Structure 1
Amino acid sequence: MSEGNQSSVTEFILTGFPGLHPEYYGLVSAVLFVVYLITVIANVAILFLFATNRSLRKPMYYIILNLTVCDLLFSTTTLPKIISRYWFKLMSISFLSCFVQMYLVHYFGSVNSFILFLMAFDRYLAICHPLRYSNVLKNSTILILSFTAWVVAIAAPLMMAIRAYPLPYCASNIINHCYCDHIGITILACTDRTPYALPAFVTAMITLLGPLAFIIFSYCSILIAVSKIADLQNCFKSLSTCSTQLIIISLYYLPRCLVYFTSYAGIRFSADVRIVVIMFYSLGPPMINPLIYCLRTKEMRECLWKQFYRRIMPQKGQVLTIS
């Protein structure tokens, strides 16, 4: 009999935050709903700014556009289900839906990592090789690289899902998480998960640490290049162009590295603390990133102000006409 025919589990139960008392379910669902609403509105606003302002049709903003789409899709993959878990007490998720969610969670995470790699590459060329920047990073080049990132990211999560799906799930169906992920699912399999967990872990580390290694290299190179600038004002100006990307990259990588390395070092947290940290680095950046773009990027601030100015001025003109 194949392993796939041994599974008796037809659905999984998402615990969410295991230690949360039922009286706080309404509050948690409301907070998560607000987070999702802000995330959708903020990211859609960025997409609208990009669509309506030709001044943003530059390599750096194409990268931000890709990151915005990825953040929006990731939040839509994870948040509605956990909101319904607390709002409507819909704790179960079908067997197939759980694997689809697992695939999408890891897929969008991989895409995010590759896009951050492109973001660092953009700043590296702009500061360390400014004369070659316009020739190397054209809009067409960024579109090709971005498309490649979305395509290349398909393989590893798909391999993880295909290898995990046929495993025999015949015991507990409770996933101690807010959404389905590879570890949360495969740990429930009634078989030795080492042959499946090790390749998945290595793949995740390559996807995470590969781009991170280049990001660290690029920003070290930027610091060295900037330190050679005699003019202090130009030095700060060069560094300020990297500040937005550094904040975004830090929000994505630092909490993830903390979770992975503490787990490797044998440092154990309670299930609630671990899930809160994971939810922070999973759902925080998609909500915060648009705010960072608009506050830290001059052209986006100007485009946002123009849109606001266009909405306000006609109303003022109507008031003056009536009076």
Structure 2
Amino acid sequence: MIVTNKTAIKDFIIFGFPGLDPMYYGTVSTLLFFNYMAILVGNIFILVFVGVERHLHTPTYLIFCHMAINDLLFGTVTLPKMISRYWWDDKIISFGACFTQMYFVHSLGAIQSLLLLIMAVDRFIAVCFPLKYPVLLTNNIVSMACGLSWICTFLRMMGVIYHALTLSYCNSNIIVQCYCDHTSVTNLGCGGDVKYVQTVAVSLAMFSLLLPLSFILFSFISIFVVVLRIGNAEGRSKTFSTCTPQLLICSIYYLPRCFVYLANYIGFSFSLDIRILLILLYSLLPCAVNPIIYCFKTKCIKDILMKRLKNAKVGIKLHSKA
């Protein structure tokens, strides 16, 4: 352990997986690199595709675009440093860069939760109040809601990070995690204020997580009730299919987090490596998987892709005959 104090500390060491044998560093860095490529390609594709297809300029797809931007930013903030950690054994991150990364990691995580809330509101109104949907949810209203989510979260998170900066860091500069997060960094603080700073941050995190989750659960229960009241099976299937992408995305985001928090609450402990792996899975997997859900579980996008694919095949056949 490297003992330091607040004035001497200039950088942190990203330790990563404590139990990982160095012979597997190349494999891990390759997996992380392909994950980052999947995040880049998938989310940029969604942004370009929705931007080009003008009839997709609707509230639902506007939310998808904000989700794609968030996933793209989160992957870019975290993965390059993680890849260099295992590819070139680049473990050092400066004090300022660590706190900057921490700021964006927690800001983007909180924004994701709010965007899922807006997505749930979109489906709730579309299914439960379809006649009022064009009035209650316009592109301008969704843009304002998404914009406020970004602005308010970035402003709020400045206070959380400033609060962490008030601590003295004198225990160690080794971060046992793959990126700088609030808990891992503030655990390195010393003095009686550490627990207070952590409690405030956890309380705000729970508020950001559980308040949107409460309405999301309410909205989907309401949607299920409405769907069950539909007389014919085809109508039920069609209505429910419009909510499938949102339901899958919410499940991928919330279920692993709730599992980890519940396990901690009941006293079930994981090894440090497993805990870090679970955090990476629920943080980074959705960023890569969400574009696939948009493409294959959203009817409009899937239909356009299939149509473009068929036209491309026809064009290739005609060119080969010519």
Q: Place the TM-score, normalised by the shorter chain, in its bin.
A: over 0.9
Q: Distance between the aligned counterparts of 1:146 and 1:204, measured in 2?
A: 19
Partners in 2 of 1:84 and 1:22 — Cα distance? 14
> Aligned partner of 2:241: which letter?
S
- Distance apart, 1:53 and its partner CA: 0.5
Give 5+ residue unaligned stretches, structure 1.
Answer: none
CA shift, 1:245, in A, is 0.6
2:89 aligned partner: 89
Query: What number of residue pairs does the alignment pair up?
Result: 317
| Aligned position for 1:164 | 164
What corresponds to 1:28 in structure 2? 28
| 1:60 equivalenced with 2:60 (yes/no) | yes
Deviation at 1:103, TM superposition (A): 0.2
- Please say if residues 77 and 105 of structure 1, whose CA atoms lie closer than 8 Å, have aligned partners that are also in contact: yes
- Indicate the residue corresponding to 2:304 in structure 1: 303
3-state SS of the aligned residue for 1:13?
strand
What residue number does 2:263 align with?
Answer: 262
CA distance in 1 between counterparts of 2:8 and 2:188 reads: 12
Provide the TM-score with structure 2 as the length reference: 0.95
Q: Distance in 2 between matches of 1:270 and 1:156?
A: 33
User: What residue in structure 1 maps to residue 197 of structure 2?
Assistant: 196
> 1:87-236 to 2 correspondence within 5 Å?
87-192=87-192, 193-236=194-237
RMSD: 1.5
| Structure 2 counterpart of 1:147, one-letter code | G
Equivalent residue for 1:273? 274
Q: Distance in 2 between matches of 1:158 and 1:309?
A: 50
Tell me if 1:251 matches 2:252. yes
SS in 2 for 1:154: helix
Q: Is the 8 A contact 1:6 1:169 kept in 2?
A: yes
Q: Secondary structure at the match of 1:164?
A: helix
- Whole-angstrom distance in 2 between the partners of 1:227 and 1:55: 30
Shift of 1:52: 1.0
Report if aligned partners of 1:18, 1:272 keep a CA contact under 8 Å in 2.
yes
Q: Does 1:15 align with 2:15?
A: yes
Cα distance in 1 for partners of 2:94, 2:306 equals 46
Kept in 2: contact 1:49–1:303 (CA 8 A):
no
For residues 212 and 100 of structure 2, what CA distance do their matches in structure 1 show?
25
CA distance in 2, matches of 1:17, 1:294: 33
| Structure 2: gaps spanning 5 or more residues | none
Q: Do the aligned partners of 1:226 and 1:235 also contact (CA within 8 Å) in 2?
A: yes
CA distance in 2, matches of 1:110, 1:288: 19
Q: SS at the partner of 1:12? A: strand
Letter matched to residue 262 of structure 1: A
Give the residue type in structure 2 aligned to 1:90. D
Identity %: 42
**Secondary structure of the residue that 1:18 maps to in structure 2?**
coil
Query: Post-superposition shift, 1:8?
Result: 2.3
Measure the CA separation in 1 of the matches of 2:201 and 2:170.
22
TM-score, length-normalised on structure 1? 0.94
CA displacement, residues 160-200 of structure 1 (integer Å, 9 cap, x when unaligned): 11111131112211111110000000000022212201110
- 1:266 positional shift: 2.4
User: Residue 310 and residue 95 in structure 1: after superposition, are their counterparts in 2 closer, same or farther (change >3 A)?
Assistant: farther
> How far is 1:294 from its partner?
0.6
Aligned-residue offset at 1:149: 1.0
Q: Out of 151-160 and 205-214, give the one that drifted further.
A: 151-160
Query: Which range moves more in the overlay, 181-190 or 226-235?
Result: 226-235
In the alignment, residue 46 of structure 1 is paired with which amino acid? I
